[in-house]
Amino acid sequence: MRKIFIAALLALASLQANAQKNLIRNGGFENELESWNAGNAKVSTFVHKSGTASLAIVSYVKGKWEGIDQKVNLPKNTKAISITGFYKRMM
């Protein structure tokens, strides 16, 4: 009985440790470009991995760098962060 209690306690503790808040606001572009600093970026519903929208960065000048960014407040004493995304090149 004691082993089952300890295993359940460890399982609950691991769930608590992995439940982190998403620091990126509007990461799925559901609210257009809200919270993003975007130059020639446009929200697209044509290509998306999950949800209903994605981002398209449009470059009108060959060789000119285009991008999008967002300032993120990291929690105090953060040692590491993980950022994931999906990229599909369209020509």
Q: What is the per-residue pLDDT across 34-86, written as a single tens digit (0 to 9) for each?
A: 989 887 888 888 877 777 888 888 778 888 888 889 998 888 888 888 888 87
Residue numbers of the domain that contains 37 = 28-61
| Its pTM surpasses 0.85 | no
Residue 40: inside a domain: yes
Residue 54: inside a domain: yes
Residue 51: inside a domain: yes
Number of domains into which the chain is organized: 1
Distance CA 86, CA 88 (A): 7
Q: What is the pLDDT of residue 55?
A: 85
Token readout for 1 is 């009985």
Beta bridge partners of 55: 43
Q: What is the pLDDT of residue 7?
A: 54
Does residue 87 register a pLDDT over 80?
Answer: no
> Is the Cβ–Cβ distance between 41 and 58 less than 8 Å?
yes
